[in-house]
Amino acid sequence: MSRKKKVITKRQLATLLRQRKTRRAIAKHYHISESKLDRYIRKYKLNRLVRKGRRPTPRKPEKIRPKRIVKTWIPVKNYIRSLDAEYHFVNINYPSARYVNQKTLICSNQKRNPIGQFTTVGIYSIVYVSNAFFLFTTSIRYSQQPKPFREVCDWVSVAAPAILEESYHSSYYVVRIVAYTFSRPKRKPRAVHYA
C-alpha cells in the first residue's frame, strides 16, 4: 500500500513561510527534501517569504491596548474573560478571590481591599513565550509573621516587576501584571529577599 502524495499548494506554502517556519521544518512537514522544497518556492515565486539566518531572539509581542475601565470592582471571572478575549491565552491560572479592582489590581472576596494581616502575595501576570500568551502566577512570601495589608501591598506594588524579572527565564517576556492576591497559607512559598 503506497502513501498518498501530499499536494503542496501555493497558499499552504505561503502560510507556512509567513509563520516564520524554517525550510527544514516545512520540508519535513511535506516529507520532501529541502532542494525539492526550494523548487516549489521558486515555482510559486515565494522567495521573499523565506526566512534567512539564525532563529530570531525572543521578541516583544505587539502592543495590545487595555480596554477602558468602566467599573472599579468587577468579578474575577469577567476580568479574566475580557483579558482572554484580548490576548487569547494558551494557559490561565485564575486568582482565587471573587472580585478584582481594575485600577489597583487587588483581589478580594468583597468589593473592598482585604482586611487583616498577610504573609504571602500572589502576583498574576501575562507572560509572552514562543509567540503565545500565558496567564501565570508567582507566590512570594513577604514575611514569616503576618503583616498589615497596607504594608504588604505597598511593598509588592514596588517590588513586583523585579520579582518577576528574577523569576522567569530570559526567553519569557512579562507583558503586564494583572492581579495581586493576599493570603496566609500554611505551606511556605519560596522566600525572596529584596533590598
Per the structure, the complete domain to which residue 143 belongs is given by 73-183
CA–CA gap between residue 147 and residue 145 (Å, rounded): 6
Q: Write out the three cell numbers for 81.
A: 474573560
The answer on 137 and 178 residing in a single domain is yes
The answer on 44 and 117 residing in a single domain is no
Residue 22 lies in a domain: yes
The C-alpha torsion from 130 through 133 and 137 to 140, rounded to 10°, is 60
Q: Where does the pLDDT of residue 155 fall: very low under 50, low under 70, confident under 90, or very high at 90 and above?
A: very high
Between the alpha carbon of residue 189 and those of residues 7, 20, 50, 141, 184, the distances in Å are 54, 39, 47, 6, 11
The answer on 172 and 83 residing in a single domain is yes
The answer on 87 and 144 residing in a single domain is yes
The answer on 85 and 29 residing in a single domain is no
Residue 59 lies in a domain: no
Residue 78 lies in a domain: yes
Residue 172 lies in a domain: yes
Task: Please give the tally of structural domains in the chain.
Answer: 2
Q: Write out the three cell numbers for 190.
A: 519560596
The answer on 89 and 38 residing in a single domain is no
The answer on 136 and 77 residing in a single domain is yes
pLDDT value at residue 188? 58
Q: pLDDT of 15-57, one tens digit each?
A: 888 887 888 888 888 888 888 888 888 888 888 777 665 555 5
Residue 75: phi, psi to the nearest 5? -60, 140
Residue 191 lies in a domain: no
Residue 111 lies in a domain: yes
Quote the pTM value. 0.62
Q: Where does the pLDDT of residue 58 fall: very low under 50, low under 70, confident under 90, or very high at 90 and above?
A: low
Contact between 190 and 129 (Cβ < 8 Å): no
